[in-house]
Structure formats: C-alpha cells, structure tokens
Structure 1
C-alpha cells in the first residue's frame, strides 16, 4: 500500500509533464482553429470575456426590466416564416421543403423476454432492431387521413379531442391531424391517476380519445363509467382488430381503420375548416406538483412564437440533425422541442427512459440502446436524467485503477482550463472522453436542459465529458415552455440565460420573502414573463386566470410565474427561489426547500431528496432516496449487513447517512438552519408511476408529505 502511495506523485508529475508538452505542441493550431465561437462565426474568447458579452438589455433602462434579447430589442418575434401562422401550415411547409426526408422513426421489437433478478423480481428485457422511418410526405398523408377519419366519426372543428398516450410517432401524427382539422388537442400524462384523467376528460367534454392498447387496458378502462360523454376510443396499436367488453355507447377503433375511413374518396374530398392563429391548438393538463391538474389553453400563435424563440438559440439547426424523443409529449418541453425539429426538417427517432442507453433497465445485455442505434445530434433532458448520468460515470471513475483515474482527472481539469480560455481539446475528447460521449451515441452537439435547475457540477460534467454545450433553459406550460435559454457559447453555470426573442421578462417585488427590485448587487423579485408566447389561461378557471395572468396598457399579456429570480449585469437570469418552496421556521429564518435539495443532490449518496419544514418547528427534516451502491458501501465500511430495504430501516444507517449529508451541506455552504437535522430513508426510487414526482421529475410535496406523515411526526418528536 505504501509503495502505491509513493507512486502517485510520480504519476501525477509524469501526467502533468505530458499535458504540458501536449499543450505546448497544440497551442498555436488550437488557438487558430479551435477558439469557441458563436453561431454567427464570431470569436467570443475566454469564459470571462463571454460572461461580459450582453445577452439581454433592459428595454426601460431600469434594473428590474423588462429585459429583451439583444437581437429582439425593437420587436418580439412571432413566427418562423412570414405567413406560416398556424401549426398545420408549419408542418405543410416542412413537408413541401423536405417531402422525402426521414421524419419520424420507431425501432422494431425483435424479441421480448422475462429476466429474473437475484432478488426474485422479474424484468422485461427487449432486443430492438434498426429504426424504421416514415418521410415528411408520408406523415402528412397519415395525419390528413386520421383527421378526415375523426371527422367521419363525428368530431367537429373547435370541439376537443383527447390524447392519452406514451411518447411515440402516433402521438405526433395525432397532433398534426388535430391541428389540420382545428380539433383542440387535450393532452394528458400517461402517468396521471384515474381521478385526474376523469377530471380532464369531463372538464373538456371529450367524446373522442386516442390512446394505446396498454393504457386503455391498464388505466383508461377502469374509469370509463365515470366519463359519460365519451363515445369513441381510437387505439394507436394495430392489434387486436376487435374490442369486446366495453360499456354500451363506446366504440373502440384501431388508428389504421380510422385512417382508412378518412382516405375514402367521399371523406377525403370533404372541405376542412382551417384554424386561425388565435384558435386553441392544445389544452395541456399539467401534472402539477400541487392540487388537481389544470388545463392550460395554448393557441396556435402561442406555440409558434414559443418555438420561434427556441429555434433561434440552436445554431445551425437543419435537416441534417437527428433528435431523440423520449420525454413525455404531454409535457410542453418535449412537444415544443419536437415541433422545433419538425419545422426545420430534422428527423425524430423515438425512445423511452427504459430503452435510452445500452445499460437501460429494459435493454437486454449485449444489445443496443436507442442512443447507440440512433446516434442523435440533439437531445432534451430534465436535470434528473443528467444527474443520473453524471453519478453513474463518476462511480465508474472511482472504480478505475489509480493510473486510469489520475489520467481521467488530469484530462478533466485540463479541459476545464481550456474551456475557460475559449479553446477546444480535440485530442482529449477523442482519447479520454470518447467512451463517455458514446453513451449518448457519440454525435450529440447540443443538449437542452429544462424543467428544473441543473447543478453546476452536472453542467460542467456534461460540457467536459460529452464534448458539447448545454443550453439550460427556463419556461413554463403557461409560457409554451419558452422564457430563456442560455447562449450555447456561454459556459457559465447556475444561470438560465437571457430572454428568448419571443418574450420579455421583468421582476416584481416580493416583500414578504425579502426580494426587491432595488436589491444590490442585482435586482431580485418574482419573475413575470410577457409576450406572444404567454398562453390564453386556464380552461374554465377564471379565478386562477385573474390571479396569474394580466394584460398591460399596451395590450401585452403577462404571466406571474411564482419563481424568484435575479438579473445579472449581462442580462442573464438566475432562478434563486420559488414562493411555494419558501418556509419560515419558528425562529423567523426563511428556508428555501428547493435550494437545499439542489445542493444536497450533488452528494453521491443521494439519488433524490425532499426537504420538509414545519413553520411551528425550529429545524428542517428530509426524506432521502439513497444511492443503493453507495449505501451498501457505507454500511459495509461500518460492518453493517443487510439488504437495501433493511439498511433503510436501520437507525444506525440513518445516522451515518445524515452525517454524510451534513458534511456535504457544510461543504456547499448551506446555513446551519438550512441543513436537515433528521432524515428518513426510502429504499424505493420516486417515479411518476408512484405519484410522488411529476413526469418532469419535480417533487409532489403534498403527496410526499402524505406518504411520510408518520415519519414526519417521528422526526418532529411525535407532534
């Protein structure tokens, strides 16, 4: 052991020498050829220089804003092309430009097996083939036939149609059919519970719903009796062809049969009523973190403005790009991202979180995951997924030999230095980070992150190891997912960039929380988003509309987000708090639960955490999903044996984990009153299916509180 320790300084010296020689040899060509530049080809120099470059400016000249993107200082953008003002026109324009290019792709299932694990659990494992593609022209035809078929089944313009389906090609075909025939599309998450599904269908008075065979049989069938208006169920799967056993008055059809009906000459010739830009395109039910889901009404013009803003932040977006779709299409982030891609002729290959990578839970060992088969250039992800990738890779780094680990660390730190100077590192990328980059197919050039704050450590890791910029964004369903996206040449962390060209952002004082526009060094307050991407409001919820939306004296619509932000000197926005996440302790200190969680998620022992505080108490507590591998290692270190379930129930292990979390909290410079004083451990990860997190993996605090009520009483001394 002593010999190995003596060897480490020698290895470090040798690697430092190699890095110095490499830097010296490659400095001049790297300086000439590899400087970080923007989409316009301009050289942006070092990270410090890039951070000073203005991304937005205050239109009023006041520190609270409103702030606009530098390129939209005079006028907010509303459309991608002149005259293309509704979503049916967007797709028709793309199909005219790229008729024979691949549009939507799905992998063929070659085999499916049950695999028994050591703990007795059985998992389904699949072997998947290559992607099978449909062209833009074929998708346009399929959508037109489906829309005509729905009309033949009695669906009328401006009458709502629902989709309750997983992310797949048929989802987009359905959406395009509805856009073409002016059927407002009601979107429901595939993980919503029965009462929430029934609420959405009844509130929107839906008579036609599109779903999958699995969701029909496992989720929808049980609540049909609670949805009396429903008449037609269209199943996207091709088999079976007959559907016995459904309540009287409900007809079940295959999508292929409805398309065949729509293709009949007498139906295909029927004149369709095209939508207006002001017509409702989507009523999107949020899988909100509190209360029953709210339906957000989104017009055609809202979505087009939103995707116009997003597209402007993705340099060189073209038909040569490939996007991998796996997040829920019922979420505004995924729907907007796919519509951006479609509008530029990109191809979209479908996946799922269970089949995304070679190591994913549903992929049979030795076969390819979807990223390996598709090799996408564009990808959207929520921070939860990026955090998992980061922790998995760093765990593998810890298991490397001393020499390999030292090489990786040196290469990592060397690349960080070069990125800060504005240089790229082609040799390091190829020799050291190539294997990590291959986890996402090896061709990813842009990663978009949204839905929640991305930690600085994870963002830096993605920049370095995946050799591509991470565009961290901020937006809500109520703003069509559009708000801000960081410039891809801006590698600063903890910020979400400046406003998109389709909107402007200003701050409003929140005196109760102690945030004011006059704060120094940066103005702070509640974030208000205004512009053509701000939606029409909540469906049949006038009281909520009056509280959250307003129109100013110039006729511009604004949304009050409930998030707290601050603007930096270069016009970048930083999210620093949320009204609902702020709790006042008995002694008067305010604790931001979201901030505590974001800091502690960087701890390798923590897979997920929910901080909780009661205003009648003096301290914070927490519910923790520990990382199983690190939990077993920690217990083994102290001679404690048992399964993950047994360890999570152990008081001794709980105290050990709390000690590690406390050390991580102090290292992250949390205040003493912000650090959880007691915790309880959960052996089961929180998934949307459990109802404890949303489909974007945001915590559902109300549901988590209900689940852990007994533990809360225990941790607060039985009160």
Structure 2
C-alpha cells in the first residue's frame, strides 16, 4: 500500500471552489450538519463505544497505526505486516495444501451455492458508424449459474476426458482462451489430474504463442473457437508436438481442414469421454504442494514472454495473504471476472473467491458497463445485472472511469457542479478523519456508484501503480475502499519487502530495490537458468525475488514505489529521468488517454508519444481554428504545438522538473490496446515495441528533421 496525503489541488474540478455560490455553500453545510446530528451522531457514538470496548479504536486511529516493521530492526529490513512479524501465512485451512483440495473443500462446504455465472446472448447485430465502420452490438440476458457441486463435477469429468486423450500427470498442457467459466473448469480439471497448466494471454501474437507452446512441449491445448480460427490455426505447422486441440465452445462438432496428426475436440465431447467407466476408474495422481500448478507466461512487456513456474504451495500462500486483506470475505460476495485469467492478479482473485464460497460472474471489457462498446444502446452491461460486491481492475480502467466522470462534471450546470464539488470536498475531509458520509453517498454519489452496479464494497487495483488522484476519486465516488496490490507474476501477485539498493539510511525514509521473500515466491523461470540467477536468490533457506523496483518505506510501514530501475535514463547533461514517473504525472491530464515518455542518454531532453483524448483534442482544435480529419489533426505540427503547451502546463502543475518535461511530442491517432502489441493485457507499455513503431519520429524529434 502507498500512503498519500490529501491534496485537493490534484483534482481539476476543485478549482471550482473559487466560484462557489455562498448561499448554496451555506445551505449545503447546514443540511449536512443537521442530518449528521439527527440521524448519525447516536450511531457514531455507539460504534465508538463498541470499538473502544473491543480494543480496536476509531477508524482514524486504525488508519494511522503501524502497518509493518523491520523484523531485524535495521532500515534495510526485511519488513513484515504487523500481524505476521513472527511467521508468514502459507495456507487457508489445515491440510488444504494443493489447489485441487481448495476446490474440493469449497464444493463440500458450499455444494448448492452459485459458483460460476455466464450471461446468455439474446441478440447480436451489426451497427454501422458514420465513418463506415461496423461494430458488433449485443443484447445479453440474465446470468446462468453453475453451482459449486456442478462445477466440481464438470471439472472432474473434463480431467478424466483429457487423461483418456493421452494427457499424463506432470506433462504440460496449455490454455489459450478468453476469461470465461470454462477457463476455470479447465484449470480445476488440470489441478485435479496434476497436469501443469501453461497459460498464454489471449492477445499474444503468433511468434509469442509459438514460443510458449514449443518451449513447454505441449501436446494438448485448450482454446476457444474464435482464438482457434483467428490465431492458433495459422501457427499449427510451427508447433510439431501438438496433437489435440480442445475447444470450449459447444459448436461445431466437426473441425475439417486441420493438419494431419492434429485432432480437434469440443469440451463437451471430452467431458462425455470422461464419464465412461474405464476412464472414471483409471484413477488420478494427486499433486503434491511442491508440484508445478501453473507455468504462467508473462505479457512480454520487456521482450520475449518468460514462463514462470508456480507451485501449488506458491499460489495457496499468495491467496492466503490476499484473503487477509479483504474484510468479511464470504459466500454473500459476488465477484465480477473480466481481466485476463492468464494474469496472476485475476487468477489469484478468483481462486480466493472460490475458496470462500463467493459467486463469480463473467464479463469482458467490451460488455462491462451499460456504455461499453459491445452493449447495444438501451440495454444493460454486466455490472448493472450482476451488481458485484468485489472487483479487481488495472489502473488503466480506473483512470478511464475517473476521466469520464470528470468530463461529465464539466458538462453539468453550475448548480449541479457546485453541489458535486461541495460534496466531494466534504467527503474527502470526512474520510481523512475516518468518518462516513451517508447523505453525500445517497444523494450525490449514488449515480456514479451505479456505474459498477451500486453494491461494490471493495475494489482491488493491481498490475501497475495507481495514481493518488484516481485512488481518491474511486474512494470518494464509489463509496468503497480501493486496495492497491503490489506484486509480480514471480511472487504470485503478492509481496512486500524492501532491501537497500540506493542507501537504506536515506532520510527521511529508507530507500532501495524491493526484494520479496516468502512461500509465495515462485520456483523460477521455465528453461531459463540465466534469468533465474539474475532475479532469484536463496539465502539461509529463504527464497527471494529481485523486483527491479525502487521503493521507499514510510514510518508507518507503508511501501511506496518511487522508481523502476530500467525506466531510469541519464540525460547527456547528467540528470536522471524516471520515465514511469513522468507518465504517471501526465496521465492525469484530461487531454491524454495514454503517453509513453522516451529519452536517449546521448540527448539533452525527453520526448513523448501521446494518445490524445478525442473529445478534448477536437475541442482544442476548434478553439485554435485547426481544421482536418482526426488523423490529419494528429499529424498536424500546429496541433502538436498546442498539445505540448497543455502538457507543459500540466507537468509544471504536477511539480515535474524542467528536464523531466517532454520537449517534443508525437500524437497517435490510434489507441494503444493489447491487440496492437504496444501494451500488455494489464496495459503496461511495451517500450521496445513503441520505440520500433515510432523510430522515424524519434529521429525527427531528436534530429530536427
């Protein structure tokens, strides 16, 4: 977690404070005061008494208490959470030490509870845009659910069917599929049969898929019809060991036109095969805690994807720690799954939900909300129907929500904008004192909260750093805590520890490269001993992972990520620039949808590639009388100059140093999505690919061509 102070000036709409109507201000303050006194002061006093009796203290006191401490007493650490200074947790329940046991335990305790839910497609149609492009739009029905017992039975049958097709324990099997219920059923089947599961992002390109399948020498792969027909079928001749393709969709039942030696099956057919007596009686070899559960390929943000070997005990240790950070997690919770299950954050989140009997309803970024791109206008997105209580998100998605709501606020009438600003300021102040604001929540923020279904009680952010401004916005407007997770695939998405890298005696706080140790640290990279020696260290029986992130430990034990070693560039004049810091500061600018800062150590200044926000750029073009199509505007030198001026002002407001501010920029008319290969599935920048794409522009901006 990162400790942020409450600095209201970071929010652009707070400038409205100067123009607040004094009558409205007084009316708001009197209303809030009366409501607090008449309705909530008694409950506040009673809750304070009960908390004092329980020895818990007020919310403010709990927020200010020590979070972690160095177990050695030295600034370099290692640091542990206050509840785990003596030992690190490693399992949820005694004896439940492998992932197949986690699911069996949950199925025994919650047999009739809803487990996995999927919305049925009621109607699908093409919608033609003004520019001639055609988009698929869908109307979706209600969620249909499999109970825990039904899910367990489906996984057991599928596992037996895979064994009947020749898949053997300890032999790798791949899954290349979108996030959906069948992904989890397939994964549980593999855990039961001790098949190490090789996970590949559904957005990977042909070379990366080929690399992963050949390196792990799989003979069986689980995929969807769409990915088979649009990606996988074109590389089959390059994967000589592949024999069986299992498609999770129901239709068709025959798959002609595939290379000799490769058989294509439906998931239902394989499950039916698993019900035959000779296959059921075959028995299974149960995994040991030290066995490989998953070989998870990274997104390749720094080059060729690496396969991370994760044991059963690694994952269980990770989700045990995660469970301790989600208050009152249980069978009354509903989780919405839409992030890639090939990402450790999503897989861990879903496994911890399964272990506690939660419902998991599936979605996608294109159908998540009522305004999502695939949802037909007037019909409901997945959050509106499912009304989840738990949700994970990468910062990119939260940043989009933040900017969209900011834009709506700017379009409000003066009275509405004043009310929103008053409520926002008031709630920030109350939250800083550990108090709730039911009146503001119900009258002002209810509509914003409904964007995520209206019942969300915990938001988990991971995959990249979340800006302070966005975190505060989500806390205020969605009326629930936002937990920032820090971890990596190599640590099962969980971890906290700092070791001296600069100087652990730095003042006011110790700083250095972050090392993570514990039972969640994975077994290493698959067939990559050189990388293992670079990043993994064994010391006195403890395994450590060197993250490459630079951290700072605050006096209360909070960890703040302040740099990334490989994102630091030394300019020709000797100044060090943190590219990640520059990007994080500038992404809060409403004009910027995405930005990649770039610097060359042989040059004197920073440059940037910018994906502009279409609405704000068009407004800016009109203001400066710059004409042209969208693509023409993004290639217009005058437009670049205007945008650069706005960026410079935003950078100065964010207190960036002059040498950190991009001096030249290139506008991109196309967004960077995982499909373009320029960002990962967690929307992390792929710097090498971006450098290659904009190489001509780099030469122009540095060479003055």
Q: Distance in 2 between matches of 1:40 and 1:470?
A: 28
Q: Distance in 1 between matches of 2:592 and 2:604?
A: 24
CA distance change for structure 1 residues 607 and 57 in 2, over 3 Å: closer, same or farther?
Answer: same
Match of 2:600 among 614, 617, 635: 614
Contact residue 325 and residue 351 of structure 1 kept, 8 A: yes
Contact residue 51 and residue 570 of structure 1 kept, 8 A: no
The Cα offsets for residues 244-277 of structure 1, whole Å up to 9 and x where unpaired, read as: 0000000000000000000111111211110000
CA shift at 1:423, angstroms? Answer: 1.1
- 1:233 aligned counterpart, secondary structure: strand
Contact residue 243 and residue 252 of structure 1 kept, 8 A: yes
Match of 2:527 among 540, 549, 557: 540
CA shift at 1:43, angstroms? Answer: 5.2
Contact residue 45 and residue 421 of structure 1 kept, 8 A: no
Contact residue 55 and residue 571 of structure 1 kept, 8 A: yes
- 1:22 aligned counterpart, secondary structure: helix
CA shift at 1:46, angstroms? Answer: 6.3
CA distance change for structure 1 residues 394 and 381 in 2, over 3 Å: closer, same or farther?
Answer: same
Contact residue 311 and residue 522 of structure 2 kept, 8 A: yes
Which residue of structure 2 aligns with residue 507 of structure 1?
A: 499
Residues 270-669 of structure 1: matches in 2 within 5 Å? 270-483=282-495, 499=496, 505-509=497-501, 515-553=502-540, 555-669=541-655
CA shift at 1:21, angstroms? Answer: 3.8
- 2:703 aligned counterpart, secondary structure: coil
CA shift at 1:675, angstroms? Answer: 0.3
CA shift at 1:291, angstroms? Answer: 1.3
CA shift at 1:82, angstroms? Answer: 0.3
CA shift at 1:506, angstroms? Answer: 2.9
Q: Distance in 2 between matches of 1:539 and 1:677?
A: 42
Q: Distance in 2 between matches of 1:683 and 1:78?
A: 48
- 2:126 aligned counterpart, secondary structure: strand
Contact residue 31 and residue 423 of structure 1 kept, 8 A: no
Q: Distance in 1 between matches of 2:642 and 2:54?
A: 52
CA distance change for structure 1 residues 128 and 167 in 2, over 3 Å: closer, same or farther?
Answer: same
Contact residue 52 and residue 58 of structure 2 kept, 8 A: no
Which residue of structure 2 aligns with residue 19 of structure 1?
A: 29
Match of 2:690 among 704, 711, 716: 704
The Cα offsets for residues 134-157 of structure 1, whole Å up to 9 and x where unpaired, read as: 000001000000000000000000
Contact residue 606 and residue 625 of structure 1 kept, 8 A: yes
CA shift at 1:594, angstroms? Answer: 0.2
Contact residue 30 and residue 424 of structure 1 kept, 8 A: no
**2:249 paired with 1:237:** yes
Q: Which runs of 5+ in 2 are unaligned?
A: 1-16
- 1:438 aligned counterpart, secondary structure: helix
Q: Distance in 2 between matches of 1:269 and 1:388?
A: 52
- 1:223 aligned counterpart, secondary structure: helix
- 1:82 aligned counterpart, secondary structure: coil
Residues 143-158 of structure 1: matches in 2 within 5 Å? 143-158=155-170
- 2:562 aligned counterpart, secondary structure: strand
CA distance change for structure 1 residues 584 and 257 in 2, over 3 Å: closer, same or farther?
Answer: same
Contact residue 178 and residue 340 of structure 2 kept, 8 A: yes
Contact residue 142 and residue 385 of structure 2 kept, 8 A: yes
Q: Distance in 2 between matches of 1:99 and 1:428?
A: 40
Q: Which runs of 5+ in 1 are unaligned?
A: 1-6, 484-498, 500-504, 510-514
Q: Distance in 2 between matches of 1:182 and 1:365?
A: 45
CA distance change for structure 1 residues 631 and 241 in 2, over 3 Å: closer, same or farther?
Answer: same
The Cα offsets for residues 167-218 of structure 1, whole Å up to 9 and x where unpaired, read as: 0000000100000000000000001110110110000000000000000000
- 1:157 aligned counterpart, secondary structure: coil
Match of 1:685 among 661, 668, 671: 671
- 1:365 aligned counterpart, secondary structure: coil
Which residue of structure 2 aligns with residue 489 of structure 1?
A: none
Contact residue 16 and residue 410 of structure 1 kept, 8 A: no
The Cα offsets for residues 341-360 of structure 1, whole Å up to 9 and x where unpaired, read as: 00000000000000000000
Match of 1:208 among 220, 228, 232: 220
What is the aligned residue count? Answer: 686
Which residue of structure 2 aligns with residue 494 of structure 1?
A: none
Which residue of structure 2 aligns with residue 193 of structure 1?
A: 205
CA shift at 1:390, angstroms? Answer: 0.5
Q: Distance in 1 between matches of 2:415 and 2:242?
A: 65
Normalised to the residue count of structure 2, the TM-score between the two structures is 0.95
Q: Distance in 2 between matches of 1:423 and 1:705?
A: 47
- 1:62 aligned counterpart, secondary structure: coil
Contact residue 498 and residue 552 of structure 2 kept, 8 A: no
Which residue of structure 2 aligns with residue 135 of structure 1?
A: 147
CA distance change for structure 1 residues 332 and 81 in 2, over 3 Å: closer, same or farther?
Answer: same
Q: Distance in 1 between matches of 2:641 and 2:22?
A: 37
CA shift at 1:27, angstroms? Answer: 3.9
Which residue of structure 2 aligns with residue 490 of structure 1?
A: none
Q: Distance in 1 between matches of 2:607 and 2:428?
A: 36
- 1:239 aligned counterpart, secondary structure: coil
Normalised to the residue count of structure 1, the TM-score between the two structures is 0.93
Contact residue 32 and residue 439 of structure 2 kept, 8 A: no
The Cα offsets for residues 2-21 of structure 1, whole Å up to 9 and x where unpaired, read as: xxxxx996834323332234
Q: Distance in 2 between matches of 1:44 and 1:604?
A: 40
Q: Distance in 2 between matches of 1:38 and 1:162?
A: 50
- 1:474 aligned counterpart, secondary structure: coil
